[in-house]
């Protein structure tokens, strides 16, 4: 299995809006597997395709309860609110306290090309929201105030 190169902030691919996936072929299945392998190797719990240099609507996640592999993920509804520190494989050494929905329902295509809908709470809901943000070019640093972002830029 190939270990993919994780793109680091401020690389431009991380700001791109990703293209939808028309269908799941062997190429997409292989990318899902390589993304999972890379995510686990880097001790992550979620990874989006732009983080490995591919501007396509594909994410993977695994919080220890089985892998989720989705193309074209879409949040259908949200409930509740929750604050938690988040990190990102593309922005090592930075954590940001972010408020996100505690519970979500997400639709998409799974690794078999089937349309699926899944409900998630807690950490998995947070990971899904974080990875879907990546597909829109949104990063955890975007949740910081302008002053905090400036401090981060000068720290680098």
CATH number at residue 124: 3.90.45.10
**Mean pLDDT score, 103-113:** 98
Looking at beta carbons, which pairs linking 39-46 to residues 24 or more positions away fall under 8 Å?
39/89, 41/3, 42/6, 42/89, 44/89, 45/123, 45/127, 46/127, 46/128, 46/130, 46/131
Concerning whether 16 is annotated as a catalytic residue, the answer is no
Q: Is residue 35 included in any domain, yes or no?
A: yes
2, 23, 131, 148: the catalytic one is: 131
Identify whether 1 is part of a domain: no
- Whether residue 107 lies inside any domain: the answer is yes
Q: What is the pLDDT of residues 27-69, one digit of tens each?
A: 999 999 999 999 999 999 999 999 999 999 999 999 999 999 9
Residue 42 included in any domain: yes
Structural domain that includes position 106: 12-155
pLDDT at residue 151 tops 80: no
Is the pLDDT at 153 greater than 90? The verdict is no
Residue 123 forms part of a structural domain: yes
Question: What is the pLDDT at residue 156?
Answer: 58
Q: Phi and psi (nearest 5°) for 125? A: -60, -40
**Residue 81 falls within a domain, yes or no?**
yes
Overall pTM surpassing 0.85 (yes/no): yes
- 2: phi then psi, degrees, rounded to nearest 5: -85, 130
**How many domains does the chain contain in total?**
1
Does residue 2 sit within a domain? no
């Amino acid at each position: 299995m190939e270990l993919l190169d994780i793109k680091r902030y401020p690389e431009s691919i991380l700001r791109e809006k990703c293209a939808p996936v028309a269908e799941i072929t062997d190429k997409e299945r292989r990318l899902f597997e390589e993304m999972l392998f890379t995510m686990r190797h880097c001790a992550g719990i979620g990874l989006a395709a732009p983080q490995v240099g591919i501007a396509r609507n594909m994410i993977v996640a695994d919080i220890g309860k089985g892998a989720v592999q989705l193309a074209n993920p879409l949040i259908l509804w949200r409930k509740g609110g929750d604050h938690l520190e988040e990190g990102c494989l593309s922005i090592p050494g930075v954590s940001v306290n972010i408020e996100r929905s505690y519970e979500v329902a997400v639709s998409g295509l799974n690794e078999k090309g089937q349309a699926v809908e899944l409900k998630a709470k807690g950490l998995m809901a947070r990971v899904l929201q974080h990875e879907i943000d990546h597909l829109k070019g949104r990063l955890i640093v975007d949740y910081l105030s302008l002053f905090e972002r400036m401090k981060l830029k000068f720290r680098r």
